[in-house]
């Protein structure tokens, strides 16, 4: 009896609840134009994206031996990875600003415009159509492997929006280049540009923030060899780390989930729930900003 009363609502939830709890069978999203929607890995509305972008542009402490060209052309612009934000207890991160080439290594290596793809990514064989990942130069990943064990959560700010992803692959070309992300990430950032293996976003205007340490590694409960299986974990880790970083940079004033644009500071997130900072009472734009079954009513997460 227990079995029936519990399993029927869960089955209904599985059928109709896709916009709420983003646990997925990754293979269903493993298509060039059928990847997970950007809302599955977008930063929550409490994250001060514009302020983080300006702060990133001011980072100035170079990581030694971490300057790379953005492509293999002669005289290509060079970009340096910065360590200004690596000392924080929580939300420690490397930061750089680069272009965004498209990487399809892993099981989707045959993507459009990608004749030289590899079957594997550094920590598995990710699906570039399903996983928002970014790529770092191999020399950097190897030298800082202790800080970056692999699958670390990070974010890009592109086109004014912030999306979370993982450090899933490294670039071993000659020369090693910087500024690269998976097919899904690149096409979510720049949806109108038909980006592909042979056509990236060339402007050096994408901010990359890569969190360090074991605490920032997306766990195997949310990721397998090929796919992200739980986007709620990715977003909640991303929001938590990014909120900690923003607090350390004094871009937000205190309280959990506090909105940087609200000076009144009346943004209670008192309710506890699965997705910290997105519980009843937290600010929201739509239900994707709210935990579990909560909906967005008049700008606040609330039960239906
Ligand atoms: C998905 O991730 C969230 C947040 O980490 C977690 O609370 C939830 O239990 C996970 N769902 C499944 C089905 O594993």
Say if residue 276 is in the same domain as residue 192. Answer: no
For the chain, how many structural domains are there in total? Answer: 2
Is the pLDDT reported for residue 156 higher than 50?
A: yes
Same domain? For 252 and 270 the reply is no
Residue range(s) defining the domain that contains residue 115:
26-258
Q: Ligand 1 atom closest to Cα of 275?
A: 4
CA 99 to ligand 1 centroid distance, Å? 33
Q: Is 23 in the pocket of ligand 1 (CB under 6 A)?
A: yes
Ligand 1 neighbour 138 (Cβ under 6 A): no
pLDDT of residue 294: 81
Q: Which residue's alpha carbon is nearest to atom 5 within ligand 1?
A: 233
Residue 276 in tokens: 């910290």
Of 176, 182, 219, 177, the residue nearest 107 (C-alpha): 182
Provide Rg for the chain, Cα atoms: 19
Q: Give the model confidence (pLDDT) of 1-14 as tens digits.
A: 344 444 444 444 44
Q: Does residue 93 sit in the same domain as residue 235?
A: yes
Are 223 and 286 contained in the same domain? no
**Does residue 5 form part of some domain?**
no
Are 107 and 192 members of one domain?
yes
| Residue 2 pLDDT | 41
Domain-embedded: residue 301: yes
Q: Does 130 map to a domain? A: yes
Q: Which of 14-23, 106-115, 283-292 has the highest mean pLDDT?
A: 106-115
**Is residue 6 a part of any domain in this protein?**
no
User: Is 115 part of a structural domain of the chain?
Assistant: yes
Atom of ligand 1 nearest to the CA of 230: 1
Q: For position 277, what pLDDT does the model report?
A: 75
Q: Which of 65, 88, 219, 249 is nearest to 152 (CA)?
A: 219
Distance CA 15, CA 13 (A): 5
Q: Residue 234: how many CA atoms within 13 Å on its side-chain side? A: 32
Q: Give yes or no: residues 188 and 250 share one domain.
A: yes
The answer, yes or no, to whether residue 260 has pLDDT greater than 50, is no
Of 96, 111, 171, nearest to 135 (Cα)?
171
The answer to the question of residue 128 being in a domain is yes
Residue 16 in domain = no
Strand runs (DSSP E) across the chain, as ranges? Answer: 62-69, 78-82, 93-103, 133-137, 153-158, 161-171, 180-182, 201-211, 295-297, 300-302
- Residue range 69-125, pLDDT digits in tens: 999 999 999 999 999 999 999 999 999 999 999 999 999 999 999 988 899 999 999
pLDDT digits (tens, 9 = 90+) for 115-143: 888 999 999 999 999 999 999 999 999 99
Cis link prior to 175 (omega < 30° from 0)?
yes
Q: Which residue has the tokens 């570039």?
A: 128
Q: Are residue 165 and residue 238 in the same domain, yes or no?
A: yes
Q: Is the CB of 230 under 6 A from ligand 1?
A: yes
Judge if 154 and 81 occupy the same domain: yes
Q: Is 9 domain-assigned?
A: no
Q: Do residues 301 and 174 both lie within one domain?
A: no
Q: Are residues 242 and 209 in the same domain?
A: yes
**61 and 171 both lie in a single domain:** yes
Same domain, 52 and 192: yes
């Amino acid at each position: 009896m227990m079995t029936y009363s519990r399993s029927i609502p869960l089955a209904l939830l599985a059928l109709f609840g896709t916009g709420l709890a983003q646990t997925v069978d990754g293979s269903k999203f493993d298509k060039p134009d059928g990847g997970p929607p950007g809302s599955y890995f977008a930063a929550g509305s409490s994250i001060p994206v514009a302020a983080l972008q300006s702060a990133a542009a001011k980072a100035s402490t170079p990581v030694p031996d971490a300057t790379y060209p953005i492509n293999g052309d002669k005289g290509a612009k060079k970009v340096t990875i910065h360590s200004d934000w690596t000392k924080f207890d929580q939300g420690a991160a490397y930061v750089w600003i680069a272009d965004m080439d498209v990487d399809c290594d892993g099981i989707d290596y045959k993507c459009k415009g990608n004749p030289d793809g590899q079957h594997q990514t550094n920590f598995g064989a990710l699906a570039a159509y399903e996983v928002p990942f970014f790529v770092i130069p191999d020399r950097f990943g190897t030298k800082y492997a202790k800080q970056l064990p692999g699958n670390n959560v990070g974010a890009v700010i592109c086109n004014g929006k912030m999306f979370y992803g993982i450090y899933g692959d490294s670039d071993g070309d000659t020369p090693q280049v910087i500024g690269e992300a998976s097919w899904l990430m690149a096409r979510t950032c720049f949806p109108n540009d038909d980006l592909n293996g042979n056509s990236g976003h060339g402007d050096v205007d994408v901010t990359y923030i890569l969190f360090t340490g074991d605490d920032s590694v997306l766990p195997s409960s949310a990721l397998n060899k090929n796919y992200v299986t739980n986007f709620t974990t990715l977003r909640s880790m991303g929001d938590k780390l990014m909120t900690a970083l923003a607090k350390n940079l004094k871009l937000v004033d205190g309280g959990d989930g506090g909105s940087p644009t609200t000076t009144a500071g009346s943004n209670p997130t008192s309710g506890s729930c699965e997705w910290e900072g997105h519980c009843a009472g937290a600010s929201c734009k739509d239900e994707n900003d709210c935990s579990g079954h909560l909906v967005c009513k008049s700008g606040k997460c609330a039960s239906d």
